Amino acid sequence: SSDSVLARADQAFSEALNVINSEVSRMMGTLSRGDKIENFGSVAGELFNATIQSFQVEMSDCAGDPLVERKILQLSVAIDSALQSVFVKQLQLIRENSINRFKSAISSDEMPVDFAYYSGDALFARDAQASVRPDSDWSFESERADLQALLTDLVSQRKRIQQNRVDVAQAQASAVQVLQMQQAQMNAIQQQAMGGVSGQWNAQAMYRPPDTNVNMTVGYQPGRTTINLGMVPEEGASLLGA
């Protein structure tokens, strides 16, 4: 009877979901420990197909029955939803790995920041694509766009930091040059005022290169020159390891 078929289908449906939920729980635990699931897309595809096939075998004597076909459809949706939750968490871990790859690549000034960007983005795209279940509508384009926006911002910040370092070096050279000129001028003035006897003098100058966050104070005493630098931190510089 239809009631008997429905009862059996419900039982098989429940058993199938228990299997899926157990696997999902195990995989979530793996991701929570910071371990990526290698080739998750293939793993999810095999688990999806095996569970559906197991249900079909259990209900093989009722194959084609509308009640059974409806249950198969419901089971497919439930399995896909459960596995997609793992996919979303996997993407979060892949994103973290990609950002770490980017930060590692820019840790050396010898590595071009644009290369670091492409390195991080390529890692995300590769691992995310390998995590998509075949024949599903899963997508990672939104997550990738968000990552690209973040990396682009970090690249800009890194370039500003590098430019600031150049500005500091140039400012130091300029300040020392100015101070040396002032010293020569002051010595000449003092010698004239004191009848050619050199005196003691102190000088201090402040300088800030245009369009930078570098503040420089240069002081001079006979036999001693001091240079103090101050910088306003860039927002988000901690992400760059600066």
Tell me the domain boundaries of the chain: 2-139, 160-232
Please give the average per-residue pLDDT across 143-148, as a whole number.
97
Q: pLDDT value at position 104?
A: 87
For the segment 46-95, what is each residue's pLDDT rounded down to a tens digit? 999 999 999 999 999 888 899 999 999 999 999 999 999 999 999 999 99
Residue 212 has pLDDT above 70, yes or no: no
**Cα–Cα distances in angstroms (integers) from residue 19 to residues 29, 48, 50, 55, 83, in the given order:** 16, 11, 11, 11, 12
- CA pair distance 210, 214, nearest whole angstrom: 9
- Name the helix (H) or strand (E) containing 224: strand 224-231
- CA pair distance 139, 238, nearest whole angstrom: 30
- CA pair distance 1, 30, nearest whole angstrom: 44
Q: pLDDT value at position 180?
A: 73
175 and 207 in contact (C-beta within 8 Å)?
A: yes
DSSP annotation of 209: -
For the segment 123-140, what is each residue's pLDDT rounded down to a tens digit? 999 999 999 999 999 999
- State pTM to two decimals: 0.69
- CA pair distance 123, 95, nearest whole angstrom: 9
pLDDT-based confidence at residue 36 (cuts at 50, 70, 90) = very high
Q: Select from 119, 205, 108 the least CA-distant residue to 162.
A: 108
- CA pair distance 242, 237, nearest whole angstrom: 5
44 and 134 in contact (C-beta within 8 Å)?
A: no
